[in-house]
Each structure stands twice: as structure tokens, then as C-alpha cells.
Chains A and B, each alone.
Chain A
């Protein structure tokens, strides 16, 4: 069936651990206006579509329930690209390094 993610697939789910009204007292407004949310990854226990409530089995074998939000999630953080100002820093440090060569 189109859009179905197969049982056993590596997926990400999310669920609200605390709704907005249930959150701790004294939070900054911009924090308090959102639910306290959790993401977890694991193997899908039964075939499902994105957005459906599902059960996953995590890496350590626990079952966790939540909304299916991603199929085969990866890690996409990078080494980034330094801003121009940082190249000024590295150029300066490279000059220091060259100066050590001359004692």
C-alpha cells in the first residue's frame, strides 16, 4: 500500500510527555506555551503511515508509543562553514605558528 512503512523499519516517533497545561510552574512564557515533547527512535512493530500512532521497539528492546514522524531517520549535523571573521582568527593563528619556526 502506498505510503506504508514496513514493519521492522527504523523510524522516529514523537509524543507529548506533558501537555501545555500540565507543565511545571514558573516556566518562561515562550517555553510554557508548548507541550513537553519527546522524540524516540526504534524499529516499527507493525506497518504504518506517517502521522499514525504506532509502537516501536528501541535499541535496548523497550516498546514506546507515539506518532510516526520519520522513516529511516539519520544524523545530518555537519562540520559547518566558518564565517569570514573566523578565518581572520585562523589566519592570525597560522602566523603565530610560522613565527615559532624562527624561534
Chain B
């Protein structure tokens, strides 16, 4: 049994079955379709039971805070009668400082229940700290595998902070150089240890987020007497969007619009050693969100439980400068110093609130903790040391990897809306490359794209016409 790249990835199905307890093959329906709801039902708990599991390890029930001062400032910049109320779910109040504790809590619960002695996660994000934290609560070992540094051995400050935090919470951390072989490293370590795969993309992880949507609906009803009009979710691999949207639906908030928001990092290659340290945001960016939205099964499990295109009503991009601005605004005007993840959505909320009536409401679905490495000055000084030109200026001059431009004033914060049909067509093109889309797949694919079957046939026609040119 060899350990070459090809040999280990060739054993992928068996390793993942053993390390998740999920037989993904049984969910397949031939062709493109698989039974998505059966995948989600691998977690045999009601949402109330999930909340109880999370409460037992101090996860969830985080405050929902109305941002009165930011709302007031937005209203000053808006036309008469405009300027929606902005709220934020303070997920930094979770044990490891982010909503990722919700994801990790169910993985730890099921790992312990099924006799695993440890958990492994391949992530450079807050999820590593969440797995480390929940593993500690359950007396499990944790290994976190992080893509952390370039070939010169230089680490991104935000990821270095996450390394520190994981180690502080008792985890073994394996820091890797740049490359998609992170998945190979994960498979090898799973095979060597026999630990549970606490993937970001199993149903354990996504069902764990549903309580966030439930809490948002319940808290908004108490605080405003109504469901939120819009929930903004910072979007990368699709977990936050999927889990929050499913939780809102389970709470009966079926008219709430879900807006995914990412930092625009167009032009930067995620597998590039050269580009690795030229970005100031290591997650919640378009380098993950666009590919994952259009092709969710590029994950570290055969079928990704995070399928954001099923739930998105809108997808927006903000600039790195917008997020730094929003981070400072939240700290200095509201007295809430938090990390970049939630502030990505806050930047879009500021822009979107100007277009909504004063009686309407927006909820930013998360905050995250901040610290050295995560703070704006840490990222900006690192960017400057990598030759990034930093200035106040028009967003037309903003070029990821080369420049960062801050908004001159609040009214300059913008959110660029992405045409979801463009992403849907990309999904169809990718599926077509893998397998032919047959009539038997239409119901599944329509659900995947959140469109009617009639609209799906139009989209397929467009893609077919494009490809035959």
C-alpha cells in the first residue's frame, strides 16, 4: 500500500467512508443526481436536539446586536425614507470565537459517540480552532492541517494566529506549504491515525449551522416583531449560506432573502506560491466562493453537504478596502472590535441598507474574534511588505494582489452583485464535463440551481448553444 499522491487519493473512498461513517455510494441515484436530503438526514437529530447538544458544550445562543450608530450613519447617506436597520449576530461569543464552533460541535459529538479517539480537519480558517476547542470539551485528540506558508517559509499573519490558537487549545498543527495536496495530507493523516474526519462539508458540519438561522429568526421576532428581510452571510465554501438558510426555513422564516458576500480576490490563483501572501483575506473570498458555488463537490468529501446555490437569493462582492473600512467602523462607532469574516458581510450590509426602506431589516450572520495577525494593521503592514500599494482612492483602482483602495467615505462602500445565472451556467458546464445531464437529473439539478425545471431547460439550452459555437 503506497503513499504516493496517486495511491493515497486512489484510496479516497475507503478512507472517507471509514473516517466519516457515511457511505456516500448509497446516496447516489445514477447520473448526476444524489439524495441530498438523505445525506442531511445522516444527522438523526431535530434542530432542537442539535441546539441541546451545542448548549451542552457552550456553543450557540449568541447575542443579536442592533448596530444603531451604523444604521444612523447609513441613513444620513441615504435618500429620504431609506436606510434599513442593521443587526449583527455576535458569533465571536462562541468558545473558540466564531460560528465554526457550531460546525465542530456535532462532529465532536458524533466522533465521541462512535468511538473515535480524535478528529482531523484540513483548514486554514477559524474551523481549526473550533475543532480543537470542541475536541478538548469531549476529551478527543485534534490534528489541524493548515496551508500556512509559501516556499520561502513566510506565513500569512492571519493563518499564523490560527496556528497559535489551535496549539493553545491543545491541537497538533501540521503547517503545509502552498498547494491543493492539502487533501492528500488529510487522507494520509486520517489513514495513519484512524481519527474522525471533521470535514467542513459533512452533514454534521452543515446541520450544526442550522441553529444559527433558527436563533436569528427567533431573536429578530423578539427584537423587531418580524423575520429579517435580508440575512447576509460571508461566503466561501458554502457552509454558512447553506446552514443558515436551512435554519431560517426550519424556523419558518421563508421570506427572508439570503445574500452571500465575498471579498473580491479576482486574478489571484489559490494554488499559486507567488499569490499566496498577496491577499489580505484568507477566507470568505471569491477564490473559494465562486468555484464552490458553481461546483460544490470539489470538497474533501464525495458529496458536499454545503450547496449554496440551492439557497442563495443574491451574491455580492466587496473589496478588501471595504472590509478594512467596515472593521474600523464597527470598532470605533459601535465599540465592537471583531475579525474580518463577519465584517465582509457588514460592508455589503452598509451598501445594501441604503437601497432598503427604514422599516426593513438586515442581519449580518456572524462576527469572529480578532487578535494579532487578524487585525487590519497586521494585514496591511504585511501587504505593504509584499509590495501592495495601499491608499485611499476609487475602487476602480483596486486590484487584488497589487493595490488596496479604501473608501474615502461611507457612501463609497459598495457591493457588486454577481449574476447568479452566470454561476448557474458555470455549474451546468462543469456538470456536463463530468456526466451528461439527462431528463432524470432535471428535478435534482433544478433544486441545485434553485430554479424551476422550465428555467433549467432554458439554461441548459443557453449552455449547449454556447458550447456548440
Contacts and interface: CB of A to CB of B under 8 A. Distances in A.
Interface string B53-87: 00000000000000001001100000000000000
The bracket for how many chain A residues form the interface is 35 or more
A48 B130 CA distance: 35
Contacts of A46: none
Interface in B175-230: 175-181, 184-185, 188, 193
B380 A59 contact: no
A24 B184 contact: yes
Contacts of B390: 83, 85-86
B161 interface: yes
A60 B171 contact: yes
A28 interface: yes
Per DSSP, are chain A's interface residues mostly helix, strand or loop, or mixed?
mixed
Contact of B177 (A34, A75, A100): A34
Contacts of B148: 39
A88 to B, nearest CB: 5
Given A36-B176, A92-B409, A96-B410, A17 B184 contact: yes
A102 B375 CA distance: 30
A78 B378 contact: yes
Interface in A17-49: 17-18, 22-24, 27-28, 30-31, 34-42
A93 B73 CA distance: 10
Given A77-B378, A88-B406, A96-B410, A28 B269 contact: yes
Nearest to B160: A77
Nearest to B143: A60
A40 B174 contact: yes
A1 interface: no
Contacts of A75: 160-161, 163-164
A81 B382 CA distance: 9
A77 B373 contact: yes
A34 B274 CA distance: 12
Contacts of B269: 28
Nearest to B68: A100
A59 B173 CA distance: 9
B369 interface: no
Contacts of B171: 59-60
Contacts of A31: 151, 178-179, 271-273
Interface in B28-66: none
A65 B273 CA distance: 25
B332 interface: yes
A41 B332 contact: no
B448 to A, nearest CB: 26
B193 A62 contact: yes
Contacts of B382: 80
Per DSSP, are chain B's interface residues mostly helix, strand or loop, or mixed?
mixed
B372 A30 contact: no
Contacts of B176: 17, 36-39
Contact of A34 (B141, B151, B155, B407): B151
Interface string A79-101: 11111011011101110110010
B453 interface: no
Of B72, B379, B406, the most chain A CB neighbours within 10 A belong to B406
Contacts of B193: 62
B169 to A, nearest CB: 10
Nearest to A27: B271
Contacts of B376: 82, 86
A79 B328 contact: no
A93 B333 contact: yes
A9 interface: no
Given A30-B274, A93-B329, A100 B170 contact: no
B99 interface: no
Contacts of B325: 89, 93
Nearest to A94: B332
Contact of B179 (A24, A41, A94): A24
A85 B164 contact: no
A83 to B, nearest CB: 5
A33 to B, nearest CB: 8
B418 interface: no
16 contacts: A27-B180, A39-B175, A39-B176, A40-B174, A59-B167, A60-B143, A75-B161, A80-B381, A82-B377, A83-B380, A83-B390, A89-B392, A90-B332, A92-B409, A93-B325, A96-B333
Interface of B: 4-5, 69, 72-73, 118, 141-143, 148-149, 151, 155, 157, 160-161, 163-164, 167, 170-181, 184-185, 188, 193, 269, 271-274, 324-325, 328-329, 332-333, 372-373, 375-382, 384, 390-392, 406-410
Please list the 8 inter-chain residue pairs (A to B) with the smallest Cβ-Cβ separation, ordered nearest first: A80-B381, A80-B378, A82-B377, A77-B373, A80-B377, A60-B141, A34-B151, A58-B172
Interface of A: 17-18, 22-24, 27-28, 30-31, 34-42, 58-62, 75, 77-83, 85-86, 88-90, 92-94, 96-97, 100
